[in-house]
Structure 1
Amino acid sequence: MFRRTFWFTAGAAAGVWATTKVNRKLRQLTPESLAATAANKAIETGQRLKDRAVGFAGDVRDGMAQREAELGDALGLNASVDHELPAPRRHAAIENRNKPKTYVVEGTSYSYNRNEDH
């Protein structure tokens, strides 16, 4: 009698276990479940790619800054700069400002004064 009860209980437990497994698998294979799984995988993959791209962009930025510093040193752009102003330029004399200009064309001389009335 105990043998029969044992095997009946073992068979019932195996049946419940198998039924539960099959039902879980069937629920996983429904279109809604497959779509949700695919969406989750796509989101995970996108996040992983984003993390890699951010890391790559940071590496590129660091490399650019390093190369820019190297070029600045090579061209002398990073050297200390004297903040002295250049020497003042000489200006033309004021009295020459209104003197009419004379042009010579084919032996004839012409004067031009822009302040002269025409």
Structure 2
Amino acid sequence: MFRRTFWFTAGAAAGVWATTKVNRKLRKLTPESLAAQAAEKAIEAGHRLKDFALDVRDGMAQREAELGEALGINENPELPAPRRVAAIENRNDPKYRTNPTYVERSTYSHNRNEDH
């Protein structure tokens, strides 16, 4: 009698355990849960990438300081400002107005369907 009761109780406990485990897995596989997990992983990856970038920046600054000391560049902190070149020319600049080869862009037609 005790043997049957033991095995009945063990089977019921195993059934409850298996049911709860399956229900947890099913809840993890719902679209909302998967989306939340993906968002958490993306945020975590972003934080790791930011930390990596900060570490690289710190390492670069440290190495730059070491090279500056080795080359003696740190003694004269007054370096000329870096030269900046415009990537896109400003057509409203007066140097284009005085240039005889400059023609306003509005006089050119780039529409191929337009009658000539």
Q: Same fold (TM over 0.5)?
A: yes
2:40 corresponds in structure 1 to 40
Higher relative contact order (CA 8 A, sep 6+): 1
| Match for residue 78 of structure 1 among 60, 75, 79 | 75
Aligned-residue identity in percent: 66
Q: Which runs of no fewer than 5 residues in structure 2 stay unpaired? A: 77-116
Counterpart-to-counterpart distance in 1, 2:62 and 2:51: 17
The match for 1:15 is 15
**Structure 1: stretches of 5+ with no match in the other structure:** 80-118
Q: Where do residues 89-108 of structure 1 align in structure 2 (5 Å cutoff)?
A: none
Shift of 1:45: 1.2
- State the number of aligned residues: 76
Q: Superposition RMSD on alpha carbons, in Å?
A: 2.0
What is the alpha-carbon distance in structure 2 between the residues aligned to residue 22 and residue 39 of structure 1? 24
Structure 2 Cα separation of the partners of residues 78 and 53 of structure 1: 29
Going by fraction, where is strand more abundant, 1 or 2? 1
**In structure 2, what is the equivalent of residue 83 of structure 1?**
none
State the SS of the aligned residue for 2:75. coil
TM-score (norm 2): 0.58
Which residue number corresponds to residue 3 of structure 2?
Answer: 3
CA–CA separation in structure 1 for the residues paired with 2:68 and 2:16: 70
Residue type at the aligned position of 1:40: E
Tell me if 1:29 matches 2:29: yes
- Asked if residue 61 in structure 1 is aligned to residue 58 in structure 2, the reply is no
TM-score by length of structure 1 reads 0.57
Question: Which secondary structure state, in structure 2, belongs to the residue aligned with residue 9 of structure 1?
Answer: helix
